Amino acid sequence: MQHSSTVIVGAAPLSPADVVAVARHFAKVEIADSARERVAAGRAVIDGMAADPNPHYGVSTGFGALATTFIAPERRRQLQLSLIRSHAAGTGPEVETEVVRALQLLRLQTLASGHTGVRPVVVDTYAAMLNSRITPVVREYGSLGCSGDLAPLSHVALASMGEGDVRNAEGELVPASEALAAAGVEPLVLVEKEGLALVNGTDGMLGMLVLALHDLEQLVTTADLAAAMSIESQLGTDAVFAADLMALRPQVGQATSAANLRAFLAESPIVHSHKGPEDGRVQDAYSLRCSPQVHGTARDTMGHATMIAERELASVVDNPIVVSEGRLESNGNFHGAPVAAVLDFLAISVADLASISERRTDRALDPARNRDLPPFLAHEVGVDSGLMIAQYAAAGIVSELKRLAAPASVDSIPSSAMQEDHVSMGWAAARKLRRAIDGLTRVLAIEILTGARALDLRAPLVAGPATGAVRDLVRTVADGPGPDHFLSPDMEAVTELVRSGTVLRTAKEHTDV
C-alpha cells in the first residue's frame, strides 16, 4: 500500500496516523515554514554559546560522565563525530524498516521544534533521507531507553554523515555515502550541540508504540470476530452480551466488544436454532461468555496507551534543550519511563487476548465440550488428527506471550560510570511487544481457521452473514473438512488474511461494526 498524502512536520504535533503513513506507507514529509524559522532562532542561541569562553554542556564540553571536560573550539567538530561513531554501537539483527522510518520521523519532529539548536541543514537532510527512502541499518540491541534510544538514533545520525550502511529504496544494502550521493543529499558535517540533538530521544520506543497501537486496533476487533465464530459454532448463546447487561458494568471497552459480538452474531441461523425460552444454555464457559470482559480490558488498556503516545508525540525530547529567553538547560525528559510502562501494559493485554482465544480453540476440538462436533474436527476419527496440532501451535505461542508479558520497565542496569544510574528499558519493552503482536495474530488466525471448519460441520445449519462471509474467505486459502492434509500453509495463509485486515474488512461488509 502506498500513501499519497504529504505529512507536514513542525506545524503541529504529528498524529499517530502521520507516523504510520510515513513509517509503513512511505508518505513524503515536508517541513513547515514556521518550523524553519524556529530552527534558525534556536541555532542562533547555540552559536552565541559556542563563542562563550564559559563551558556549556553539549556545546563546549564532553558528554555524560565527561560533562566537566572543556573542549576547545577547534576540536568540537571531532567531538560531534566521535560521539556519533562511538554511540552507533548496536548489535544483533537489523530492525525492521518501518521502525527505523518511525524513529527517523520522530527525531525530525523534535529537530524541527527549534528547541534542539541544530542548523536548518540538519532538518533538511533528515527529511531528504525519508523522502528518498534511505533507511539506516539499526541493530536490535543497544538501547537502554534512557538518554533516549542512543544507539539506534546514533546509527541514523551516522548514515546522515555518510558513514555506515543503509537500505536504499529498493531494499538493497549499500554504503550510506553511496545512497546519499544517489539521492543528491550532501553528508552532514556536525557542529556544536548537533550530535547530542540527533541521539537524545524516545523516538524508537515511541515509534514502535504507535505502530503497535495501530495494529492492535484491528486485532482486538478481529478477536471479537474470532470469538463470535467460536460462540456460534459451539452453539453458545449471545444473550449474555445484551446491552442492558453491559450497562450494569459501565466499562467502555467491554461495551464496545459486546456490541461487536452482537453485530457479528446477528441474524445467525445457527444461533437462532437454539434460541428461545427453552434454551437454558446461559452458562457458557468463561472463554465464550466473558469474551467482552477480556477483550474490553485490552481496549481500555489501549486507550490509556494512546493517551500516553499522543502526549509523547506532542513532546520535545532532548538534553540539553534550548528554552525560553535563550537558555540551554539540562533536563530528564529523555527518560523513557512513560512509554516503557504502557508498552509493558499492552504486552499483558496481548497475552490475555491470545490466552482466551486459545481456550476457545481448544473447546472446539474437544468432543466433551464442543456440543457434538467430531474430536479435533477430524474427518475420520482415529485415522485423521484434524486440527489437533494447530491447537498445539496456539498453546506454544500463548506460553511465549506469557513470558513476553513480564515487564522490561522494572529492570534497570546503571551505565556511563553511574551517571545514568536508572534507565527505562523501553526499547526492550517495545521489541517484545512487536513479537507478542505477531503471536497474537497467529493465535487469532488459528481460532478463525478452527471456527470456519466448525461452522462447516454444523451444516445444514447456516452461519450468520458476517461469520459466514469470513468462513467463505478462509475457504479461498484453506481446505474445509476432509482427510488430513499439510496444515501449515493453511495456518500461514489465514494469518496473512488476519494481519492484512482482509478478515476484518470482510466481516464489516456484513455488519455495522
Can you tell me whether residue 258 is helix, strand or coil? helix
Nearest to 148 by CA among 204, 80, 79: 204
Cβ atoms 14, 110 nearer than 8 A: no
What letter represents residue 418's amino acid? Answer: M
Of the residues 57, 126, 286, 392, which is catalytic? 57
CB-count exposure of residue 513 (10 Å: 0-12, 13-18, 19+): middle
For the four alpha carbons of 231, 236, 242 and 246, in that order, the dihedral sign comes to negative
Label the pairing between strands 165-167 and 173-175: antiparallel
Helix (H, G, I), strand (E, B) or coil at 504: helix
Q: Is residue 126 among the annotated active site residues?
A: no
Q: How far apart are CA 429 and CA 347, in angstroms?
A: 8
DSSP 8-state symbol, 384 = B
Q: Are 64 and 144 in contact (CB under 8 A)?
A: no
Distance CA 478, CA 488 (A): 10
Selection from 172, 137, 130 nearest residue 27 by Cα:
130
**Beta strands 321-323 and 165-167, pairing class:** unpaired
| Distance in Å from the first CA to the final CA of the chain | 23
- Sign of the Cα pseudo-torsion (138, 141, 142, 146, in order): positive
SS3 381: strand
C-beta atoms surrounding 32 within 10 Å:
14
**What b/e string do you get for 206-224 counting C-beta neighbours within 10 Å, with b at 16 or more?**
bbbbbbbbbbbebbbbbbb
| CA dihedral over 93, 98, 99, 100, signed as positive or negative | positive
Report the alpha-carbon distance of residue 511 to residue 465 in Å, rounded. 8
How far is 423 from 412, CA to CA, in rounded Å? 5
Close Cβ partners of 130 (under 8 Å, ≥ 6 residues apart): 22, 28, 29, 101, 104, 105, 108
Question: Between the CA atoms of 24, 25, 28 and 31, what dihedral angle is there, to the nearest 10 degrees?
Answer: -40
Return the residue matching grid coordinates 474467505.
473
Longest dimension (CA), the chain: 90
Looking at the annotation, which residues are catalytic?
57
